[in-house]
Amino acid sequence: MTTKTRSAARRPDEPSVSPGGAPSSVTGAASGRYLSPWSRVARVLRLITVLVVLALLTVLGVFAVVGFPGPPTEEELLEEAGLTGRSVLRIGVRADQPGTGYYDETLREFVGFEIDIALMIASDLGFRRDQVEFYQIQSEDRARMQATTPTGEYITVDLVVSSYTITPEREAQESVSFSEPYLLTEQSVVTRRDHPPVEHLGDLRGERVCTITTSTSEGPAIEAGLDLYEQNLASACVAGLLDHTYDAFTTDAAIMAGFVAQYPDQLYHHDIGYDRVEAWGINTGGNEALRTLVNLYLYRSWSDPEDQRWEEAFEEHLAPLQPFNGEQQVAIGEQPKVDPVDVREWP
């Protein structure tokens, strides 16, 4: 505390002097003595320290005005993603794949595992069920985020949750930004029941094999030297299989499992011993802020033991398909691990 009393005591060790160490010409109780070299060094050191403190305070003051640097908040990401003030979230999904994404004509709504995952993300983004619009999207349009409306018009969607396997080649495209995976499955083969067992893709040489356009199953099938036919929709391959246009259908097991469950007497799922994991991700169409948010919600779903939405979606849509698919695992029944996301959160 500042004292108003003038002190009579003189500090013998550190009198006040003029700069340079010469005795001060100013007369006063403290003057008239040389400063020791150590005192001089100490004073200069203190001056530097004071300047450091003042600089630190200035930096803090500037941060207090413009905001302290750090990772973004969820709200900032929502704003950056262009979702604040939006009344509708558009999501591109499959409409023809029972189990994963399917438009139910009787219920007049989309149902399936991917629909539930899309609704989980939409809900975390702050969109109610009636504020989410689902549109069918075909394989070749997933990278460009172009879905079709019921009247056949193209529309740009905010998210694509459409059995889209994460690959570096796809991610290299500007309009593709994958979230962390939400489902792990593998490539397999479906044939009619009268087909001899298929152990690996090479067993299908000389047969007419259908796959989905731009799918990751194309590469291994071409490597195996198969006679490959491509369709835009999985349902077209299955229809071709059932009417004997094709002899086999190869793509991700989780896509085909729903069809096998739908036609258990006609279709058979072969486990072909192909060990590459197909990890499905959500495409946010190059919207990095939205990708961060999707990853954040996937991480919360993965890390929060009380959040059972992923598990419930799997139990409802994919687990019931397993009995129809024999030895071939439909998909891994646990949510894939998601790394923590650098977002400002309440502790």
Partner 1 sequence: MIEPISDGKAEPARERRTRDRQWLWALLPVFPLVLLALRLWYLSRQNISTMLLLIQHVNPIGLISWLVIKLIWIFPIGVLVGWMVGTLSRISAPHALSPRLARIAYRLPGWVVVVAVVTAAVTWQLRFLPLLGMITVTTSALILRESGRSRLERFASRVLPVAAAVFGYLWFLPAGMEAARGDDPLTAVLLLLPPLLTVVLSGPLPAVAAQPVTIAAGSGLALLVPLLIAAAFLRAPVMPLSMLEIDDQDPTTPTEVVVGYVVTVDDRMTTLLNAHGAISFIPTENVVSRALCPDPTNQPPISDIRVRGWHVEQTLLTLLVTPGPPTSSTLDVDDQELRRHCRAFNAQT
In the complex, least distance from residue 18 CB atom to partner 1, rounded to whole angstroms: 6
Q: What is the DSSP string of 130-190?
A: GGEEEEE--GGGTTTTEEE-TTS-EEE-SEEESS-B--HHHHTSTT--B-S-SEEEEEEEE
Distance of alpha carbon 161 from alpha carbon 155, whole angstroms: 15
Among residues 105, 169, 275, 306, the one that binds partner 1 under rule CB under 8 A: 306
Q: Determine the interface stretch with partner 1 among 127-135, 181-189, 219-227, 268-276 (rule: CB under 8 A).
A: 127-135
Q: How many Cβ atoms are within 10 Å of 176's Cβ, its own excluded?
A: 22
Residues 321/260, Cβ–Cβ less than 8 Å: yes
26 belongs to the binding site for partner 1 (CB under 8 A): yes
Mark out the alpha helices in the chain (DSSP H runs): 37-66, 74-80, 113-124, 168-171, 218-223, 234-242, 253-262, 288-303, 309-317
Among residues 123, 213, 245, 262, the one that binds partner 1 under rule CB under 8 A: 123
Residues 270/194, Cβ–Cβ less than 8 Å: no
Q: Determine the interface stretch with partner 1 among 58-66, 153-161, 220-228, 235-243 (rule: CB under 8 A).
A: 58-66
305 belongs to the binding site for partner 1 (CB under 8 A): no
H or E element that contains 229: strand 227-231
Distance of alpha carbon 255 from alpha carbon 164, whole angstroms: 11
Question: Which residue reads 């995952």 in tokens?
Answer: 117
17 belongs to the binding site for partner 1 (CB under 8 A): yes
Residue list 242-301, contact with partner 1 (CB under 8 A): 300
107 belongs to the binding site for partner 1 (CB under 8 A): no
Among residues 45, 149, 288, 326, the one that binds partner 1 under rule CB under 8 A: 45
In the complex, least distance from residue 111 CB atom to partner 1, rounded to whole angstroms: 20
User: Which tokens go with 241?
Assistant: 């299989």
Nearer to partner 1, 208 or 300 (CB): 300
Among residues 22, 53, 222, 277, the one that binds partner 1 under rule CB under 8 A: 53
Among residues 22, 42, 222, 277, the one that binds partner 1 under rule CB under 8 A: 42
Among residues 22, 23, 32, 71, the one that binds partner 1 under rule CB under 8 A: 71
57 belongs to the binding site for partner 1 (CB under 8 A): yes
Nearer to partner 1, 50 or 277 (CB): 50
Residues 278/165, Cβ–Cβ less than 8 Å: yes
Q: Determine the interface stretch with partner 1 among 49-57, 102-110, 223-231, 253-261 (rule: CB under 8 A).
A: 49-57
